Amino acid sequence: MRKAKITSFKHGSLGVKFAVLTILILAITLSTSTYNSIRKERQQLTNQLIDKGRMLGSFISLVSPDAILSYDAFTLDKYMEEITGQEDVVYGVIISNQGVNLTLYLDNNDPYIRKYKSGSILETIKRVNADPEIISMRFPIMNDDTRIGELVIGLSKKRMEAMANAALKRNILINSAIVLFLGISIYIIFRIKALRPIMALIKTSRDVAAGNLDTIAPIYSMDELGILAQSFNDMISALKLSYADKDDAMRILRETNANLEAATKAKSSFLANMSHEIRTPLTAIIGFGETLNDPDIDDDLRKESIQRIVKSGKHLLSIINDILDLSKIEADKLETNPIKTSLFDIIEDTHSIIELQAIEKGLKCDINFIYPLPETIISDPLRLKQILINLASNAIKFTDTGSITLNISYDSEYDLVSIDVIDTGIGMSEDQIEHVFNSFTQADSSTTRRYGGTGIGLHLSRKLAHMLGGDIRAISTPGKGSTFTLTFAANTETNHGLLYANPRNYKTLKSPSSPLVFDSKNRKIRILLAEDNPDNQSLISLYLTRTGAIVDIVENGEKAVDTINDQYDMVLMDIHMPVMDGFDALQKIRNKGYNIPVIAITANAMKQDREDCLSRGFDDFIPKPIDQDSLYEIVRKYTSSKPDDEINDKPITSTILDDEPDLEQIVNRFISRLPGIMKDIQRHFRSGDIEELGKIIHSLKGSGGGMGFQILTDLCIDIEKTIKSDDKDNLAIQLKKLQDIVDRITESLEYNRAHA
């Protein structure tokens, strides 16, 4: 039963609990206060009673000596009668020194006397004094200094106790009323000020639990409960945002799931397409290659087979390059190389390629320049041509009759070049346009089956356009054709030249050549080729001999080191070879004192591979498979005879003096300091203090170009790279070049003074 009551109280209303606890606390507090008050009042009444007894005892002790000495019993009894008649006095007697009662009066009507009356007065008084309600008081009676008797008075505490009990009852009634009033008042105030906000919070929490997040908790005050309600409302708002975020996340997750499924299907389709796309040119290469083994094949068929092999090989290389470029973009490792270039050269190179494709399909290929156009732009010409060839090739692929048109325009306000690639092909619907730039996808599966393709060209092209500060947009009408618009940043802020006509006779085709290469003494160039693969030996040797060069072949780096001599003008060095690789071979060639150009040849065609080769001392880099035109360009760059103004024995003059002759004095002071700077450089090099040497080179790099000697800055840049690679042998060679250039610059100062 007791446990049930406790459980009932535990689960009862907070208001009831608070009221009960409040009443209990008030009751305990007031009871304690009442007890202390009654106790003090009882003590006070007792003290008053005792004071009254003292007053009476003192008076009788003062007036009774004469009556005692004269044995006046009647007077003494009168005194006792007077005392006993006083309120709260039960008895009064005078006793002699010998213990004899000198008074005979007792109030027999007094309830205590009646209750305890015995044979003698003293015996009765003794029994009365034994009652706890009686206070017995004794007062000596003196005659001068002699004690002649004693007055004994009995006082009753009954009336005092009755008064105290009455006060107690009165206080209990008053306190009960106070407790009840305060309890009810506090309960009402608590219910209004506390329970109402709490009940509102409970209702709000139930609404939230039911899923109603639009509810809010009312705020009745800005105390702790108000702050709690505000916090609760903040929590509801956060929950709403959380649910909204969760819904968005779920929606995004569903969309991502759908996209992943679509991407998985697209990649599966892509792999199938890629297999087809790679196998197709491979089949042609293998098939036409086998026809060349036929000894009875006629020349026309042989030439056709060779052309088809070359065409299929280039197509296969294009597919692989697209895949590699896309993977590098997605890994954020593809970089552009913006340089100052001619927009007209880019269009000319693109047109020379796509026009051949158009002619094969019987299509017209037109170029429209919409003037004014910038004379030069700053962008990556290789990537621009890659995008344009991709767009134009797509246009040719999906056009059976009609034409392909390129419209080139320029928006000077936004500094953007726009190139529209317009075809009269099969066109696309709006839904197809929406997905045409997605990776691994084409307009639809029938397009893939009919026209082929990997589905990554447009996706890659748009990524490249973004890297060049632009975009690619498409509009199309089914059955009427499509227009793909490439925009890219021209970056002409420092080059405001605009052309209103073509700067030269525009050529639609470039005729590739296999130039004969001779040195400055008109003798044939001699090249050492270090390559372990017999097929590559034959192919590269064939390309080089077409230029008129003499080619010696070795199959590893060790033989290249043994064969090298002063007769060679260039070394083409494969990186990965047996016995000794290209890096070790280069180091030994430099150690032998040969400073001829050594070009790296490798199938590792990533940007990092190129930087690695250049940082380790190679003069240049040719990726495999070997592109014939790129090979010829490298050979020209490092072996062709230089114009007269680049001959190493001619003084080098500052270029800034052509426009700013007033700066001659400043330039001359710079030139006059160069010999001392070179002495410091040589001194630090000999002592091995490369750090200080690097600081001087870095300073010279900055000041050289500023003073009009760009050749000085360019060489200092190369020297800094060599310092970082810790190649001391190559550093010594470069410092020798630096000394030659400084000598030629110093000669220009002496030349100017002599002719001033």
Nearest in space to 529 (alpha carbons), one of 490, 478, 561, 574: 574
For CA atoms 187, 189, 190, 195, the dihedral sign is positive
430 CB neighbour count, 10 Å cutoff: 10
What order do you get walking across the sheet with 416-423 strand by strand?
Answer: 364-369, 403-411, 416-423, 481-489, 471-477
- Cβ–Cβ < 8 Å for 490, 417: yes
Lowest mean per-residue pLDDT among 9-18, 188-197, 423-432: 9-18
pLDDT band for 562, please (50, 70, 90 cuts). Answer: very high
Report the share of the chain in percent with pLDDT over 90: 10
For CA atoms 141, 146, 147, 149, the dihedral sign is negative
Lowest mean per-residue pLDDT among 133-147, 445-459, 652-666: 445-459
Q: What pLDDT score does 658 carry?
A: 64
- Cβ–Cβ < 8 Å for 23, 179: yes
Tokens linked to 412:
């000077």
pTM of the entire predicted model: 0.37
C-alpha span between 737 and 652 (Å, rounded): 14
pLDDT surpassing 70 at residue 187? yes
Name the DSSP letter for residue 357: H
Once rounded to an integer, what is the mean pLDDT over residues 402-407?
A: 91
Nearest in space to 460 (alpha carbons), one of 643, 629, 330, 284: 330
SS3 for 186-238 is HHHHHHHHHHHHHHHHHHHHHHHHCCCCCCCCCCCCCCHHHHHHHHHHHHHHH
For CA atoms 622, 628, 630, 636, the dihedral sign is positive
Once rounded to an integer, what is the mean pLDDT over residues 53-78?
A: 86
Q: What pLDDT score does 514 carry?
A: 45
Residue range 713-756, pLDDT digits in tens:
888 888 888 888 777 777 887 888 888 888 888 887 665 554 44
Q: Which is higher by pLDDT, 464 or 629?
A: 464
Nearest in space to 626 (alpha carbons), one of 380, 196, 307, 310: 310
Nearest 5°: the CA angle 295, 297, 301 is 150
Q: What pLDDT score does 509 carry?
A: 34
- Highest-scoring range by mean pLDDT, 108-112, 190-194, 435-439: 108-112
C-alpha span between 346 and 381 (Å, rounded): 6
Lowest mean per-residue pLDDT among 274-288, 374-388, 439-453: 439-453
C-alpha span between 374 and 395 (Å, rounded): 26
For CA atoms 239, 260, 453, 623, the dihedral sign is positive
Q: What pLDDT score does 646 carry?
A: 41
- Cβ–Cβ < 8 Å for 652, 711: yes
Q: What pLDDT score does 551 carry?
A: 92
Residue range 338-397, pLDDT digits in tens:
888 888 888 887 887 788 778 878 888 889 988 888 888 888 888 888 888 889 888 888
Element (H, E) at 106: none
pLDDT surpassing 60 at residue 249? yes
* 1: amino acid identity, one letter: M
C-alpha span between 411 and 489 (Å, rounded): 10
Q: What pLDDT score does 700 carry?
A: 87
C-alpha span between 254 and 257 (Å, rounded): 5
Q: What pLDDT score does 486 carry?
A: 94
Q: What pLDDT score does 422 carry?
A: 93
In the chain, the domains with their CATH numbers are 15-164 (3.30.450), 335-499 (3.30.565.10), 526-641 (3.40.50.2300), 656-754 (1.20.120.160)
Give me the DSSP letters along 387-433.
HHHHHHHHHHHT-SSSEEEEEEEEETTTTEEEEEEEE-S----HHHH
Lowest mean per-residue pLDDT among 180-189, 370-379, 634-643: 634-643
Percentages (nearest 5) of helix, strand, coil residues in the chain: 60, 15, 25
pLDDT surpassing 90 at residue 527? yes
Once rounded to an integer, what is the mean pLDDT over residues 515-522?
A: 48
Q: What pLDDT score does 284 carry?
A: 60
pLDDT surpassing 60 at residue 266? no
Nearest in space to 240 (alpha carbons), one of 201, 276, 211, 281: 211
Element (H, E) at 610: helix 607-615
Q: Give the long-range contacts of residues 75-79, CB within 8 A, separation 24 or more.
A: 76/102, 76/103, 77/103, 77/104, 77/105, 79/103
